[in-house]
Amino acid sequence: MEQQDKFYKGLFFGAVLGAAAGTIMGLLFAPHKGSETQQIISGKVKLALDKATDLYESNEHDGAYSNDAKKRSQEIIDTARDEAKKILNEANSIIRDIKGYPKTQEN
């Protein structure tokens, strides 16, 4: 059992280190400048959130969905929006660190 725990712990740390290395390498060898990449990511996230919001609002008066489903879908949209903001803030922070810019205060 202890050997299996060590395996999963090593697997976890390997995955984390691999993800970090991949992120750094991706930023260093990206085909676009950091600001362009930020705009692309930001645009795609905003587009997805707008589509989800439009879909939710178009079904708002639909009697086929219960209030619980509407409430849950709004929670999912809000959570996705918050997570997208966090990801964008982290990406901006990483890019600033790589470029050597001073950190700004995040809200």
At 26, the pLDDT band (50, 70, 90 cuts) reads confident
Greatest CA span in the chain, whole angstroms?
56
> Quick check: 4 pLDDT over 90?
no
Q: What is the pLDDT of residues 67-82, one digit of tens each?
A: 777 788 888 888 888 8
Q: How many CB atoms lie within 10 A of CB 52?
A: 16
The pTM of the full predicted model, rounded to 2 decimals, is 0.35
**Residues 21, 27, 31: CA angle, nearest 5 degrees:** 135
At 19, the pLDDT band (50, 70, 90 cuts) reads very high
Structure tokens at 45: 């996230």
